[in-house]
Amino acid sequence: MTDLSKTPETTPARDGAFLSVQDLKVHFSTSDGIVKATDGLTFELERGKTLGIVGESGSGKSVSSSAIMGLHRGTNAILSGQIMLDGVDLLKVSNEDMRRRRGRDVAMIFQDPLSAMHPYYTVGNQIMEAYQVHNDVSKKEARTRAIEMLERVGIPQPDRRVDDYPHQFSGGMRQRAMIAMGLINNPSLLIADEPTTALDVTVQAQILDLLQDLQRDFDAAIIIITHDLGVVAEMADDVLVMYAGRAVEYGPCKEILTNPEMPYTWGLLSSVPDLTASTEAKLIPIRGNPPSLLNPPPGCAFEPRCDHVAKVGGDLCRTTLPDLTPAHSGGNHTKRCHIKNADEVYEAEILPEIAPDLVED
């Protein structure tokens, strides 16, 4: 890869994806041993596209994205790998440089806007600060810009609400104010960490519409972290399914959700009820609990919970970690599983369970 000097701003943008994460590892050293929260994550994202990251709590979704924001600096996290944003390796830039990029190039929307916003400052104050840090403008200009942004995200009477405190906003409005704060500097990469999990469906739909409109206007790349496959289906171009710190399936959204080839993705799809499925059918949960990242299983991390181990035969699943290999559907679809004929298993066993109406014969 390009050799990066101390002043990465001058490095010309290299060919390839706008954001490219290569073999990212985030390890935390604890008194019980090393927690491998993210262990070798690779993905790419173009401008104007959306990547959905799906997985259970503790699968390393948030840890990976905070690494892109540089939020692990100053903690005892051990990072390795490469995060190339527009030709610059974000893991190599200085703290001062990262601070300048944070908010301007990369912005983040957090899950819980009540705890992510400072209760002691007005909403307007916090949005203005985000703007003033990166732009040499007067307070008055910043305020005008903050009001403009609040209006853009659909806060009624923005000139009055700008002086409200976060607790005076409703949940949906707080989330919108967070989005206004994140987008005020027109970042080229927006990371939305569970942006709608705490919200009602109607408000969720509004926020998702808003994100898509803004993406169109600013041509931003969006990473949306969620555990709601429905949100992913409607928003994402690419999907990355994470389990125990690793990508277990990665590819175009349509392929992943219509032809998944990894038992964990099957489990996720079959454990959520939808609005049209038969109500007589039982939900099929994934048994057991996610593994401890202190002491992950030696082979496939999903093996203790997997119902399809017998299809591989021998001890392979328990002893050997499968590689991320191209899936049967081809294209950029990759999966981390030993099962040879995963596409046939999906059609024969999984599809009849989750969508009997789609099975043709």
Partner 1 sequence: MSDTTTAPAASVAPESTEAVLSVDNLKMHFPVKGSGVIRRTVGHVKAVDGVSFEVARGSALGLVGESGCGKSTTGRMVTRLYKPTEGSINFEGTDIANYSGRQLHPMRREIQMIFQDPSTSLNPRHTVGSIIGAPLRIHNMVPKNKVLSRVQELLEIVGLNPEHYNRYPHEFSGGQRQRIGIARALTLQPKLLVADEPVSALDVSIQAQVINLLQDLQKEFDISFLFIAHDLAIVRHFCPEVAVMYLGKIVEIGDRESIYERAHHPYTQALLSAVPDVKQAAIGGRRERIRLEGDVPSPINPPSGCHFRTRCAIAKDICSVVEPPLLQIGKKHKVACHFPGEIHQHPEKPITAPLLGVDEFGAPDPGASPAEVPGDGPGYADTWYDLANNSRGRA
Which long-range contacts link 101-104 to residues 24+ away (Cβ below 8 Å)? 101/70, 102/69, 102/70, 103/130, 103/133, 103/134, 103/185, 103/187, 104/134, 104/185, 104/187
- How many residues touch partner 1 under the rule CB under 8 A: the total is 50
Among 71, 203, 316, 324, binds partner 1 (CB under 8 A): 203
DSSP 8-state secondary structure symbol assigned to residue 331: T
Q: Tell whether residue 73 is a contact of partner 1 (CB under 8 A).
A: no
CA–CA separation, 34 and 324 (whole Å) = 24
Q: Which amino acid is at 169?
A: F
Q: Tell whether residue 217 is a contact of partner 1 (CB under 8 A).
A: no
Write the CA distances from 299 to 41, 270, 315, 321, 322, integer angstroms.
17, 24, 9, 4, 7
Among 284, 316, 321, 324, binds partner 1 (CB under 8 A): 284
Cβ atoms of 300 and 321 within 8 Å: the answer is: yes
Rounded to a whole number, what is the distance in angstroms from the first to the last CA of the chain?
50
Kindly indicate which of the ranges 80-88, 101-109, 285-293, 325-333 contains the residues binding partner 1, using the contact rule CB under 8 A.
Answer: 285-293
Among 30, 95, 271, 341, binds partner 1 (CB under 8 A): 271
Q: Are strands 50-54 and 106-109 parallel, antiparallel or unpaired?
A: unpaired
Q: Tell whether residue 257 is a contact of partner 1 (CB under 8 A).
A: yes
Q: Tell whether residue 230 is a contact of partner 1 (CB under 8 A).
A: yes
91 vs 173, beta carbon nearer partner 1: 173
Q: Tell whether residue 307 is a contact of partner 1 (CB under 8 A).
A: no
Residue 263 main-chain phi, psi, to 5 deg: -55, -30
Among 23, 159, 234, 315, binds partner 1 (CB under 8 A): 234
Q: Tell whether residue 283 is a contact of partner 1 (CB under 8 A).
A: yes
Cβ 68 to partner 1 shortest distance, Å: 23
Burial of 115 (C-beta count, 10 Å sphere; 0-12/13-18/19+) = exposed
135 vs 332, beta carbon nearer partner 1: 332
Between 143 and 172, how does the x/- string for binding to partner 1 read (CB under 8 A)? -------------x-------------xxx
- Binding positions for partner 1, rule: CB under 8 A: 56-57, 156, 170-173, 200-206, 208-209, 212, 227-235, 253-254, 256-258, 267-269, 271-277, 279, 282-287, 289, 355
